[in-house]
Amino acid sequence: RAAEWQLDQPAWSGRLRITAKGSTAFIKLEDKTSGELFAQAPVEQFPGIAVEGVTDSSRYFVIRIEDGNGRRAFIGVGFVDRGDAFDFNVALQDHFKWVRQQNELARQAQDLEQGPKLDLGFKEGQTIKLNIANMKKKEGGTGSTRPRPAGPGGLSLLPPPPGGKSGSGEHPALLSTPPQLPGTPITDSLLSWPQPTAAPAADVWGDFAKASG
C-alpha cells in the first residue's frame, strides 16, 4: 500500500525511462539533470514480479532493481502526474505485445520449415492439356461479323455531251450505270438517250416518224 510510504519525503527523485534490448525491457531511474543512472530494473515479463502495482493507487508501483552483480532490492516508485503513470503501463504493455508477436511469427516459420514440402514441378514425361476450343470459336464468331468493304459498283453521272440541244429541241438526259453482272468488266462508257421534254405523247411518235424518214 502506497499510504504506508513516506510520500512527502521521497528518498530520491529524478526521471524514469524505459528502454529495450531484445525481449527484455529495462526501467531506468536517472538523474533528471545529468542523466546519471541511479538504478535499473530489468523486466522479462509483464505483468510479473519485476513490476507490480499497489492496491490503493494507480500512480505507484513496486519494482525490482538489480545491480548486475546478482544483488536485488524492491523499491517503491510513484508518479506525480496520473498521465505519466498511464504512459508507464502502456509502454510496458506495448513492448511485451511486440515480443509475443515476434515469438508467434518465429513459431509459424519453424512449423513451415518442418512441415512436408510440396513438389509442384513437372515429372519426366508429364504433360498438361489445355482446352482452347472456346477461344477459336469466339475468334471465328467475331471475324464473321466484320463488315465487308463496298464494291466499286454504284450510281454515277457523266456530264452532258457537247452540242447542248438536239435538232428537235429535246434535252439529252444521262442514264445511270447498268448493274454489273458477274464476270462483266466495268467500263467507263455510259449509255445515254435523248429524252423528250414535257410534250404530248403524239409529238413523241411524230418525232420518231421524222427520224425514220
| Number of compact structural domains in the chain | 1
Q: Is residue 120 part of a domain?
A: no
- pLDDT block averages, 10 residues each, the chain of length 213: 84 93 93 92 90 92 90 92 93 93 87 70 76 63 53 56 54 52 51 54 54 52
Q: What is the structure's pLDDT at 149? A: 53
Q: Is residue 174 part of a domain?
A: no
Q: What is the structure's pLDDT at 91? A: 94
Q: Is residue 183 part of a domain?
A: no
DSSP states along 85-113: HHHHHHHHHHHHHHHHHHHHHHHHHHHHH
Give, in order, the Cα–Cα distances in Å from 201 to each of 34, 196, 205, 209: 131, 9, 7, 13
Q: Is residue 162 part of a domain?
A: no
Q: What's the distance, CA 86 to chain centroid?
A: 41
Q: Is residue 153 part of a domain?
A: no
Q: Which helix (DSSP H) or strand (DSSP E) does residue 17 occupy?
A: strand 15-21
Q: What is the structure's pLDDT at 73? A: 94
* Rounded Cα distance, 98 and 109, in Å: 17
The CATH number covering residue 72 comes to: 2.30.29.30
Q: For residue 43, how many other CB atoms are within 10 A of its CB?
A: 23
8 Å CB contact between 60 and 78: yes
The whole-model pTM stands at 0.50
Residue with cell 438536239: 166
Please work out, in degrees rounded to the nearest 5, the angle formed at the alpha carbon of residue 69 by the alpha carbons of 50 and 61. Answer: 20
Q: Is residue 164 part of a domain?
A: no
88: Cβ–Cβ under 8 A, 6 or more apart, which residues? 16, 18, 61, 79
Q: What is the structure's pLDDT at 31? A: 93
Q: Is residue 208 part of a domain?
A: no
* Rounded Cα distance, 27 and 77, in Å: 11
Q: Is residue 127 part of a domain?
A: no
* Rounded Cα distance, 204 and 184, in Å: 34
Residue 25: domain span: 2-113
113 Ramachandran zone, left/alpha/beta (phi>0; psi -120 to 50): alpha
**Alpha-carbon dihedral of residues 98, 102, 108, 111, nearest 10 degrees?**
-150
Q: For residue 209, how many other CB atoms are within 10 A of its CB?
A: 9
Q: What is the structure's pLDDT at 151? A: 52
